[in-house]
Amino acid sequence: QSVLTQPPSASGTPGQRVTISCSGSSSNIGSNTVNWYQQFPGTAPKLLIYANKQRPSGVPDRFSASKSGTSASLAISGLQSDDEADYYCAAWDDSLNGHVFGTGTKVTVL
């Protein structure tokens, strides 16, 4: 059972900006850093953002993220058809003593 809540879907037309929210609590997002993962159908997830807003080498700067209090968000600007994927937030949870993933958001490019 996921303790981080994301909208099930988000969509936009090519070139638009899409934002995905991730809502948690004081025991996870409120006290630990947030990572974001991108997953295409039938493939393994890929780290997209770490430590709230840092991009690993090779991730386009169209992807950005932020955190405030017990929520985080991922933004995709200049939306492209290649961005169609599932996106998951994740954080360590001090109460559960384990990592938790968000419920996942499917991004569709219209």
| Integer Cα distance of 110 and 34 in angstroms | 28
Q: How many residues sit close enough to other proteins to count as binding (CB under 8 A)?
A: 24
CB hemisphere CA count around 98 (13 angstroms): 7
Nearer CB in complex with other proteins: 58/110: 58
51 to 70: interface string for other proteins, x by CB under 8 A? x----x--------------
- Expressed in percent and rounded to 5, the helix, strand and coil fractions of the chain are 5, 50, 45
Residues within the interface to other proteins (CB under 8 A): 2, 35, 37, 39, 43-47, 50-51, 56, 86, 88, 90, 96-104
